[in-house]
Amino acid sequence: MPSNNNLKSIENWASTLGTRFVEIADYVGGACILLAQTIFWLLIPPLKRKQVFDQMDKIGVKSLPIVLLTSLFTGMVLALQSAYQMQKMSAEMYIASLVSLSMVRELGPVLTALVVAGRVGASITAELGTMKVTEQIDALETLATNPVKYLVVPRFLALIIMLPLLTVYADMIGIMGGYIIGVFKLNIGANMYMRMTYQPLVFKDVFTGLIKSFAFGIIIAIVACFQGMKTDGGAEGVGKSTTLAVVISFIMIIAADCFFTALFYFAFKV
């Protein structure tokens, strides 16, 4: 017969597990409701174009330098690391194909999303969280202004537009980083390197990378806005919400990348 202490431990463990499950279900449900509301208000005119352009500037243009630097060094490191093994097999020419496919399919979209989530997602959460704890969002509702329409929709639209564009630039700069290493360090002919870069690429590779970026933009926007709008507890709560938004965004981006990769390259072999 199990002792009372053991039964109590099992009850506590089951209670904690159930509480966590309810919290996760509540969080996911709230985020899905916010996504549905955002799409609804996105389709209802008028659209605040000035706010959208301002957010596109903050999210896209001001994130471009760090995205390009990250992609450049990623392409260079990828070429250097692959050269270590390729040179043993006298297959240096395939370094170009490896870099281009890796950047376009995986590293370009994922690294861009992670950089934007860390930079922009945290900023959105902190901004909306501050508005929440200072009751500015409640003031908007008092003035008959829908907070989702006014605050979430411009950021959502800017992210789903700018993140794929940033990904395109990241892909090109990452390939350029591989080109610098391949041509000037590994002495691969420039024409050969460029031919081996673009020869294996097909439309599906570029298309799937952009689809991933679009999905990542939705994840960053909804998680950051939802976490910001449910902030409480003053300045300390804003800090906790910002940290939690970045962590959740990172986890969901990696999980979504795994899902889309399995879907595009294993379930649908086109």
Over residues 135-146, the mean pLDDT reads 85
Residue 233 backbone class (left: φ over 0; alpha: ψ -120 to 50; beta: rest): left
pLDDT value for 94? 85
Contact 245, 122 (CB under 8 A): yes
Which string of DSSP letters, residue by residue, matches 175-214?
Answer: HHHHHHHHHHTS---HHHHHHHHHSS--HHHHHHHHHHHH
Contact 35, 219 (CB under 8 A): no
State yes or no: pLDDT of 270 exceeds 60: no
* Amino acid code (one letter) for 204: K
Share of the chain above pLDDT 70, in %: 97
* Amino acid code (one letter) for 58: K
Q: Which two tokens stand for residue 69?
A: 């630097």
What pTM was estimated for this model as a whole? 0.90
Q: How many CB atoms lie within 10 A of CB 102?
A: 19
Over residues 31-53, the mean pLDDT reads 90
- Buried b / exposed e along 57-69 (16+ C-beta atoms within 10 A): ebbbeebeeebbe
Higher per-residue pLDDT: 136 or 144: 136
What is the C-alpha to C-alpha distance for residues 156 and 147, in angstroms, rounded to an integer? 13
pLDDT value for 199? 86
Q: How confident is the model at residue 92 (pLDDT cuts 50, 70, 90)?
A: confident
pLDDT value for 2? 54
What is the C-alpha to C-alpha distance for residues 12 and 4, in angstroms, rounded to an integer? 12
Higher per-residue pLDDT: 223 or 20: 223
Q: How confident is the model at residue 20 (pLDDT cuts 50, 70, 90)?
A: confident
pLDDT value for 202? 84
pLDDT value for 211? 93
CA-to-CA separations, 35 to 41, 170, 202, 263, in angstroms, rounded: 10, 27, 32, 23
pLDDT value for 251? 94
State yes or no: pLDDT of 4 exceeds 80: no
pLDDT value for 267? 62
Under DSSP, the state recorded for 92 is G
Q: What is the mean pLDDT of the chain?
A: 89
CA-to-CA separations, 87 to 27, 62, 83, 226, 269, in angstroms, rounded: 50, 39, 6, 49, 31
Question: CA geometry: angle at 54 spanning 48 and 57, to 5°?
Answer: 140
State yes or no: pLDDT of 144 exceeds 90: no
Which of the residue ranges 1-15, 156-170, 219-233 would you say has the lowest mean pLDDT?
A: 1-15
pLDDT value for 223? 95
Return the half-sphere exposure (C-beta side, CA atoms, 13 A cut-off) of residue 201.
Answer: 23
pLDDT value for 47? 84
Share of the chain above pLDDT 90, in %: 53
State yes or no: pLDDT of 96 exceeds 80: yes
Comparing C-alpha atoms, which of 265, 229, 219 is closest to residue 120? 219
